[in-house]
A and B are shown apart, each in its own frame.
Chain A
């Protein structure tokens, strides 16, 4: 499984945008970039995924570099409820298991 690298932690102010980076320099052509998050004492929650083009949904946006070696999860207006561990995961087109790294702990200040 291709490896991802994320900062250990980040801090944001409430109501401000947050950009969570992820490096995946060994990504293969068929790997999809997935983001999950885990709120305290809960199971992981799907956030967004993409292959080559930038993606938007009601939760977040995913910006993918042209060479696909990095990506950024964008939370447009952070709230206290967004405080969680965010995981960037590569998954092959037919891959089944999710391989979680350490993720980024996002702290949101009021």
Chain B
């Protein structure tokens, strides 16, 4: 089976712009979670979707949003980018508790 894929792998944006990241889970996995990884804050949970519904949400501002499509693919959007949003954004799909992470999208905000 193919693993979790994320696009794009690298992204450079400027402050105030918005960005959309995409995640395709492992076939058959219906849960997709998103995480932000930074050197200062570590790995932090953003949100989780299951069957197109947000089931869990972390402590991030409303600028961070996501959605899931009927084929389980997920997108996350960050609006009005700030310098502090520079991070590795990881998505993970899970079937029975074990999470499988994608390679991540490295976002740099200038």
A and B part of one assembly: no
